[in-house]
Amino acid sequence: MAVDATAGPIGQDRLTLQAFIREHVSFALFRASAESLASENADRLAAMQCANRNVGELLHALPLNFQQRCQASIDDELFGNSGL
């Protein structure tokens, strides 16, 4: 139902209220979308930081593991695999 803006102050108030409600709903939807995107990006960042930390820990342990395996291979070659 269209309201004629020339219907007086009540009609103008109604148009103003409708415009306000329309703007309020638009802003609420925009804010919800922005918050959703921010939350998704925060979750992605947290996952990437966790993966980065795990890779760092693995890279730190890798040389020690490699040295232990090399030493075990050398020991087996020198002393034989006696099972002791």
Record the tokens describing residue 35, joined without a space.
């918050």
Tens digit of pLDDT for each residue in 23-47? Answer: 999 999 999 999 999 999 999 999 9
Record the tokens describing residue 55, joined without a space.
């890779």
Q: Are 3 and 11 in contact (CB under 8 A)?
A: yes
3 state SS of 83: coil
CA dist., res. 13 & res. 15, Å (int): 5
Q: Which residue has the tokens 């890279």?
A: 59
pTM comes to 0.55
